Structure 1
Amino acid sequence: MPDLILDNVTKKFQQTIAVNHVSLTIPTGQFVAFLGPNGAGKSTTISMLTGLLAPTSGRIQLGKLIPQQVAYREQLGVVFQNSVLDPKLTVQQNLTLRAALYRHHETAWLEHLMTLFALIPIRHQRYDTLSGGQRRRVDIVRALVHRPTLLLLDEPTTGLDLQSRTAIWTALATLRNREKLTVILTTHYLEEAETADWVYVIDHGCVVASDTVTALKQHYAHYQLTLQSPDLPQLTYDLQRAGYTTRLTTTATLQVSVNNAQQGIDVLHAYQHQISNFEGRNGDMNDVFLALTGKDVR
């Protein structure tokens, strides 16, 4: 199975540059996450990968195939933010009809997918009677009925509860391991990127960072102390004067970034008479996201 290549891809809408000279290579079988704030260019990139939008300039290839070719699109499975299934048909009817649109589809493969994503008990229910989590599982199976080599997931679990999201990711992990499926994810749930092989952080249409989760955390996510104090302004002043980066998380708590847990212990010891309560944690993907894209609401 071939690698996916984006070579100097740009997309403009009149005077707005939505994607700005993006170049990347995604190896076969890799799980890649695209992270970025609203309007960063993630969904536009997905739309170009599906062939729904043409790049203004640059090149997209899956091996020797390009998005305008039927053979390219046959390699793709896509889960859009909004469903494309018929609400009045049952789960089974929807999936059988979708499978019939492809030249190569197997009944046994569809049954396997329905079992893997726990759709057998609801196969005869109408799509419009399903819960949000059930609908999303059906949407994902719909994208996989033709056994694609590349699965594009554009914010697939937005609005779903933790149980539904966990079920989806457990099933996808099983499928990836068995089929060597390449998966590209855009998401606002940053913890979903924790298991990615590679992460691209996109902002203002540009790739501002790309690396493994571990490396991104090492570079951008420091150990975090959350402190409470009877005199928070004074504690803030003293810590900033000592060179620490601080941020008020609420009117009653202060977040302090330190290099590691040992430095956190040093801070607690040095300012113990000003601290009434504390909590410490390792940096996570949320910290990476904020460090690279800023804290302002857009």
Structure 2
Amino acid sequence: MTAAIAAEGLRKRYGDVQAVDGVDLEVRSGEFFGVLGPNGAGKTTTLEILEGLRKPDEGSARVLGLSPWPRNSALLPRIGVQLQASAFFERLTAREQIVTFGSLYGVGAARADAMLARVGLADSAGTAAEKLSGGQAQRLAIACALVHDPELLFLDEPTTGLDPQARRNLWDLLREINAEGRTVVLTTHYLDEAEILCDRVAVMDHGRILKTDPPATLVRELDAPTRLTVESGRLTADRARELLDGSGTRADVADDGVTLTIATRTPAPVLALLAEQDALRGLEVRGATLEDVFLQLTGREYRA
């Protein structure tokens, strides 16, 4: 597959802060690509360089085969951008917002109605943007980014602050956009979101990309234990340890008074043991997730 984005050695400094520190990145055409990282990892700055909003101090980038900086008038109609903080024109309705954005690209007003239906806002066409709910405002921002039919879409944390239903609805829309052949680049703090939507993800911290691979590959490489949880009370932690030791099965056992958790790399004998003890009530089996990968690579300390 051809590269929609190819960046080498990108660096950007703000005073004493090295926001982006030697980023190499390739996003394939038609790919749904995620950029993950804690606060201050450099995700947004990297996207802003690729979007042509910021000049890198060092390095080079090609987006759809063109340089994004200086602001490239040949590239702008081919990309769509939904920024981390969306801003709309004051006192305009949802439809008027899309018409106005479309006019910047020479797109006719009829396209606005199609886009409103596409993002599920047809019934809110006459509602002022400031009166929309959080989920509706995010869908409007994506409609404005898509109104000129771009090949490549940048989305910077599009589901932050949304309720679970609004997030799921937005996921469906993003899947449809990507299925049409568009390349989508997404930054997000929601690891389940990246695991479900993205073909590949780059985990970023301190301005550097630490790892890039499909989510499933990253999870497999972690080689984390499987966690089996059951309802407390059926089997005590001490008795579980005794039985496990007797069977030669290596496992960590913990009981918080609500749930008995057994972490092991050999879950089959543990399941058999629990069944023999009639202790399968409330059973859940959980393998590693992208969140485990993320925490291993970036650490667990609090980030402001």
Q: TM-score, normalised by structure 2?
A: 0.83
Listed as ranges, the matches of 1:214-225 within 5 Å are: 214-220=216-222, 222-225=225-228
Aligned: 1:52 with 2:57: no
Cα deviation code 1:158-186 (max 9, x no counterpart): 111122112222122222222x1110111
Tell me the equivalent position of 2:26.
Answer: 25
Alpha-carbon contact 1:154-1:185 (below 8 Å) kept: yes
* Equivalent in the alignment of 1:42: 43
Correspondence for 1:83: 86
Query: Bigger shift: 149-158 or 288-297?
Result: 288-297
2: CA distance, partners of 1:107 / 1:27: 32
Q: 1:137 to 1:264 in 2, by over 3 A?
A: farther
C-alpha separation in 2, matches of 1:4 and 1:176: 16
CA distance in 1, matches of 2:219, 2:54: 33
1:93 is matched with 96
Residue 286 of structure 1 aligns with which residue? 291
Larger displacement relative to structure 2 (134-143 or 276-285): 276-285
User: In structure 2, what residue type is equivalent to 1:3?
Assistant: A
Q: CA deviation at 1:263?
A: 6.0
Distance 1:191 1:254 in 2: 24
**296 and 110 in structure 1: CA distance in 2 versus 1, 3 angstrom threshold:** same
Report the equivalent of 2:132: 130
CA distance in 2, matches of 1:277, 1:169: 30
Secondary structure in structure 1 of the residue aligned to 2:54: coil
What percent of counterpart residues are identical? 34
Distance 1:26 1:263 in 2: 43
User: Could you tell me the TM-score, scaled by structure 1's length?
Assistant: 0.85
1:211 Cα deviation (Å)? 0.7
What does 1:248-263 correspond to in 2, within 5 Å?
257-259=263-265, 261-262=267-268
Counterpart code for 2:217: A
Question: Where do 1:139-158 residues align within 5 Å?
Answer: 139-158=141-160
Amino acid at match of 1:259: R
Find the aligned partners of 2:14 and 2:165 in 1 and give their Cα distance. Answer: 39
C-alpha spacing 1:226/1:130, structure 2 compared with 1 (3 Å): same
SS of 1:40 mapped into structure 2: coil
The SS at the match of 1:292 is helix
Contact map agreement 2:228 2:285 (CA 8 A) in 1:
yes
SS at 1:55 equivalent: coil
2:271 pairs with 1:265: yes
Q: CA RMSD in A?
A: 3.2
Distance 1:263 1:202 in 2: 38
Give the conservation status (yes or no) of the 8 Å contact 2:175–2:197: no
Q: Deviations over 1:27-77 (max 9, x none)?
A: 111000111111111111111112222111111111431112122222221
For 1:185, the equivalent position in structure 2 comes to: 186
CA distance in 2, matches of 1:3, 1:71: 15
Provide the aligned length of Structure 1 versus Structure 2. 294
**How has the CA–CA distance of structure 1 residues 222 and 51 changed in structure 2, closer, same or farther, with 3 Å as cutoff?**
farther
1:100 Cα deviation after fit: 0.6
In the alignment, what sits opposite 1:12? 13
- Name the CA shift for 1:260/1:98 in 2 (closer, same or farther; >3 Å): farther
5+ unaligned residues in a row in structure 2: which ranges?
A: none
Residue 253 of structure 1 and its aligned partner are, at CA, apart by 5.6
Structure 1 SS opposite 2:197: coil
CA distance in 2, matches of 1:273, 1:167: 41
Q: Which amino acid aligns with 1:92?
A: R
